[in-house]
Amino acid sequence: MLRMTDFLDKDTIMKYQIDSYNWLIDEGLQQVIDERKILPVNIEGYTLNLKKIKVVPLYKETEGGLKDRLVSEYRIKNITYYARMILTVEETSKKKDKGGSEKEGSRDIDIVIGHIPIMLKSKICLLNELSDDKLIANGEDPEDPGGYFIVNGTERVLIGVEDIAPNKIIVTFDDSLGKKTAMAKVSSVRHGFRSRTTVEKPENYPSVSVSFPGAANVPFGFLSKALGLTNGEIMELFDEDTRAEIVPTLTEESSDEAFKKLCKKISFGHAEEYQELRTEQTIDNFLLPHIGNNKKDRKAKARFLAIMAKKAIRLLQGNRTEDDKDHYQNKRVRLAGDLLQELFRVSFSMLLKDIKYQLEKQYTRKRDVNVSNAVRSRTMDERIEFALATGNWTGGRSGISQVLDRTTFLSSISHRRRISLLLEKTRPHFEARDVHATQWGRVSANETPEGKNCGLVKNLTVGAIISKEKDDSEIKEKLEKICSQSEYGTDVYVNGVLIGSHPEPGKLVENLREERRNGKISYDVSIVYEERNNEVQIYSDVGRVLRPLIVAKNLDKKAYAMIEDVIKKKANFEDLVKKGVIEYLDAAEEEEAYITITKDELTKEHTHMEITPSILVSIAEGYIPFANYNSAPRVEMASAMAKQAVGVPTISFPSRLDSLMHVMVYPQRPMVRTDVSEIFHFDKMPAGQNFVVALLSYRGYNMEDAIVINQSSIERGLGRSTFYRTYTTEEVHYHGAQQDRFEIPKEDVEGHLSADVYKNLSSDGIILPETEFQGEDVLIGKTAPPRFLEEISMFGRIAERRREASVTANEMESGWVEGVVLTETDEGNTMVKIKTRSPKIPEIGDKLASRYGQKGVIGMVERYENMPFTNEGIVPDLIMNPHAVPSRTTVGHLIEMLGGTAGCLDGRFIDGTTFENEKEEGLRTILEKSGFKNNGKQILYDGRTGEKIEAEIFIGVIYYQRLHHMVSNKIHSRAKGPVQMLTRQPTEGRAKHGGLRFGEMERDCLIGHGASAVLKDRLLEESDKVKVPVCSKCGVIAIHEYEKNKFYCPVCGDSPVYEVEIPYAFKLLAAELLGLGIVIRFKLEDKI
């Protein structure tokens, strides 16, 4: 059968994000323009019609159609990679001619309304049509699938946002108000505007009420009357079981009388002539806006409310079950295109307000009214750029835009497949965090962070895709022809809108599915028959997570032949979808499917079959070989560690100027590989090396999670990496012809450093490439003008004394200058970037990990001659404690050691793909044929004595990763240093030269040991000791009168005052309590 490698490739993994952005460019922006159409302006005879918008990349605007600059230049120059948005408007105005008669004229004007960031590899991106060779020539990585933005030179990604499904009724119980209430809720969405409508039915209370923005607890029957239905029509919408609950809400008024009463409820306090208009606007725009916003849609809204009321009543009666809001059919994932459209809508609305203000201002001042002069594009640019640069989105949401994780190539791909549920991180939200059965095959159960984001931040599986935005008018027209408006039969909905009813729902659904399989309906349309609710739901909206499955009914000889053609690359995966052999299902439609995982279990009752179990995992999870042999927590930990490894983050790293980057010097392909590694070309940018590992307790230096590593292996390059850091500064121009200057600061410069730190600078004040530097050496010499004007000299001129503003290397770093880049910013300032490199050699305290969550810290670096060795003279690179395996049940770790050894002996890579890996028996056979024991154990000899180690030792080849948590980046100590201004205690953190926190538990330990002198030394002498004058009579802190150098008590006057040593933090507490009227009194005794 099919494998992952037969139908997935590196370009498909980001296709859903790029398609979403392309939709925004093609249709999404125009939709926002069409929502407005006309800009109303209070100028007589002047109208402004909004017509077409087009997005023009800047690189196409130069003569000859040549590009303006390379995409890599946007990173180097710290600017945003964007395109221009040009809106065509029709300006109509009346002007008087020479004869005095009015003449109306109109003209089309193209105005630049702002700029929108370009998603890399989208249809308007320069890189989209370049070959791999040209990408490399332009400083780009040909393996990078795109799907991110460059904002102010920083790569940023918009993660998918998990949101409640729009226009879908969800019925649940609620007892927050002290009584059990059945609630039917719908989050209605139209043109980006979201409105929630709720129908409530309390238990043992004859009431059904409706709440929506602008109105709360409106009786159902009363509201239905106001929407245009009669009592008879209302009763016909309910069956015998639910009708009795509605009768108490009915009224005898006519529809007009009910509407007038509703006006007084909704528009209470407004002028009478305004009440009706405001009520109409509220009903049309805020009550179920997805059904429509015109007067003719009000009866349809009343019918929809009746459906909601019916569901709530049935839930209370026990005739139906609660809806599960965590079920994936009730969720949608909002992608870059949708999120940017929402941001554009808000920004465009602000721009139109500003244009209107500017036009009316021109008219008031008797100037020529000209829309070109009224547009200030920065109004829109600032909002869009701020949202993308900070992640703070419309609606008060944050964390949507994130800096792309470039730690490894795997982490950068995984980051772009991430989705997030924007709930408060500090609250439990147990149900939202739990793994839901409907996430199977869509969202990884294992790739989620530990801690407060657990279960809220998730990753899509390899096979999952997300449905695109499409017009549903065609399918609505088709259904309107075959559905009736009778209340009898099964209701048919399209994206939450009731189309009609059908007497044979099963036949209707089957016919529609056949049309989808034959290509007459789009492959990502979902067709569902909810038999328990007697409804047919059809979804074609954006954001549904779909996964591919084989249609069991169509699995005949012809289908098998087509699958074979795909495996042999004679056909592609899309051909199988077009022929109906494979179809995409969302969580709602999968509820009706009966799916088998393997062909051997297939029966006549099954409707679908999994393509391959290996696509049920995420990218990071699929990177782990033999993952199906491990416990779930270890798979989760291994997924996280794979994204923290040091490797080759991108092929283009030599030409990049990232702020921080770690690159392994001698990366290797793993001997045991997976299909994910092959598809996404992780083997071209690996993040680890093949280690010879022995499981052995060694002299106590590898207890717990410590490991012993071979010194000679390190000297040969094992685990060696290079750390790159980029330092940036620019010559800023200020008002008054002042500017920064790159130079070697002279001795008279304010804040001049010692001459020794400037020794590496060339005559222009910039360090040269390949120059060695030490911590705190100056890399870029720079002086700045004074902050304030100096005194006027005796000749009447201002004597300028410049300030030291040089860029120095980090205190704990040393290395060499990799490169120097001088460029110019868009503001015309000269910018300098210095890229430095520092070698990082494994040392005691550094962290390494296998691909199974078996992380360990180097506890000893042992010389080669002292390490144990085999009969063949093989010396392990690393010795791991065998006790780490049984309790953690990482059986995959042991199998990879067998597989790695077998691969070396057999001269090939071993397949460790999850669920489809090579069997353990086959690996053992390879070992036996090569003269080794099939259990992987060998006799080892002690390197110090030459004696044979009594027990056989398990030894083999396994892929190990060096994590970026390194001692050289974290080592820190201090004797004296800065203190906090408020508490006078030492600052915290290595960057601030802070101390190490001596906390409550440490205090308790010293108390337990009776080490009172040490306790006093830590918490008083070496912390925040201060001498405080205290009155001997009343115990209040006295006052020091500096002029007379005298202490006196503010309460007692001239009573004897003595100095007492206390922590300053305690003195601060006493002062704060005094502000609350609470006084702390000291009781003084003679010092012993």
CATH superfamily label, 722-840: RNA polymerase II, Rpb2 subunit, wall domain (2.40.50.150)
Domain edges within the chain: 4-158+335-404, 169-323, 470-540, 623-720+843-959, 722-840, 972-1020, 1024-1088
How high is the pLDDT of residue 607?
94
Tell me: the pLDDT tens digits for 707-727? 999 999 999 999 999 999 999
Biggest alpha carbon–alpha carbon distance for the chain: 118
| Cα end-to-end span (Å), the chain | 88
Question: Does 911 qualify as catalytic in the annotation?
Answer: no
| Integer angstrom CA distances of residue 64 from 55, 69, 112, 177 | 19, 14, 22, 69
Q: Is the Cβ–Cβ distance between 58 and 112 less than 8 Å?
A: no
Q: Which of 172, 154, 185, 186 is nearest to 74 (CA)?
A: 154
Q: Are 470-540 and 722-840 in the same CATH fold? A: no
- CA–CA distance, 779 with 762 (Å, rounded to integer): 10
Number of H helices, E strands in the chain: 30, 50
Per-residue DSSP letter, 624: S
- CA–CA distance, 793 with 458 (Å, rounded to integer): 66
Q: Which of 410, 877, 875 is nearest to 641 (CA)?
A: 410
Q: Which residues are 89's β-sheet partners? A: 50, 109
- CA–CA distance, 401 with 156 (Å, rounded to integer): 6
Q: Name which of 7-11, 577-581, 956-960, 1010-1014 the model is least confident about.
A: 7-11
Say if residue 672's pLDDT is above 90.
yes
How high is the pLDDT of residue 634?
94
CATH superfamily label, 623-720+843-959: DNA-directed RNA polymerase, subunit 2, domain 6 (2.40.270.10)
Q: Is the Cβ–Cβ distance between 328 and 587 less than 8 Å?
A: yes
How high is the pLDDT of residue 63?
45
- CA–CA distance, 493 with 584 (Å, rounded to integer): 20
Count CB neighbours of 531 within 10 A. 12
Tell me: the pLDDT tens digits for 181-225? 999 999 999 888 889 999 999 988 888 999 999 888 899 999 999
Cα dihedral 298, 301, 302, 305, rounded to 10, equals -160
CATH top class, domain 4-158+335-404: alpha beta
Say if residue 488's pLDDT is above 80.
no
Q: What is the CATH number of domain 169-323?
A: 3.90.1110.10
How high is the pLDDT of residue 798?
58
Arithmetic mean of pLDDT, 413-425: 92
How high is the pLDDT of residue 147?
94
Count CB neighbours of 1047 within 10 A. 18
Please provide the average confidence, as pLDDT, over all residues in the chain. 91
Question: What DSSP string runs through 985-1044?
Answer: SBPBSTTTT-B----HHHHHHHHHHT-HHHHHIIIIITTTEEEEEEETTT--B-EEETTT
| Integer angstrom CA distances of residue 70 from 412, 499, 625, 819 | 22, 51, 39, 19
Identified catalytic residue from 34, 284, 705, 911: 705
3-state secondary structure of 42: coil
CATH superfamily label, 972-1020: RNA polymerase alpha subunit dimerisation domain (3.90.1800.10)
Tell me: the pLDDT tens digits for 512-541? 999 999 989 999 999 999 988 889 999 999
How high is the pLDDT of residue 61?
45
Assign 796 a pLDDT band (cuts: 50, 70, 90). Answer: low
Assign 58 a pLDDT band (cuts: 50, 70, 90). Answer: confident
Tell me: the pLDDT tens digits for 359-400? 999 888 888 888 888 898 888 999 999 999 999 998 888 999
Half-sphere exposure of 664 (CA within 13 A, CB side): 29
Q: Helix, strand, coil shares of the chain as percentages rounded to 5?
A: 30, 25, 40
How high is the pLDDT of residue 484?
81
Q: Who wins on pLDDT, 862 or 790?
A: 862
**Dihedral sign computed on CA atoms, order 129, 336, 613, 963:** positive
- Orientation of helix 272-286 relative to helix 255-266, angle to 10°: 90
How high is the pLDDT of residue 799?
60
Say if residue 946's pLDDT is above 50.
yes
Q: Is the Cβ–Cβ distance between 70 and 138 less than 8 Å?
A: yes
How high is the pLDDT of residue 64?
44
Q: Name which of 97-101, 264-268, 370-374 the model is least confident about.
A: 97-101
Tell me: the pLDDT tens digits for 272-329? 778 888 898 999 999 999 998 888 999 999 999 999 999 999 999 988 889 999 999 9
How high is the pLDDT of residue 441?
92
Share of the chain above pLDDT 90, in %: 69
Q: How do beta strands 803-804 and 807-808 pair?
A: unpaired
Say if residue 256's pLDDT is above 80.
yes
CATH superfamily label, 1024-1088: RNA polymerase alpha subunit dimerisation domain (3.90.1800.10)
Cα dihedral 604, 608, 609, 615, rounded to 10, equals -170
Q: Name which of 420-434, 884-898, 1014-1028 the model is least confident about.
A: 420-434
| Integer angstrom CA distances of residue 29 from 47, 338, 393, 469 | 22, 10, 18, 13
Say if residue 252's pLDDT is above 90.
no
Pick the CATH number of 470-540 from 3.40.50.2300, 3.30.310.80, 3.90.1070.20, 3.30.56.10: 3.90.1070.20
How high is the pLDDT of residue 98?
62
Q: Is the Cβ–Cβ distance between 1036 and 1049 less than 8 Å?
A: yes
- Orientation of helix 336-364 relative to helix 29-36, angle to 10°: 40
- CA–CA distance, 104 with 1024 (Å, rounded to integer): 81
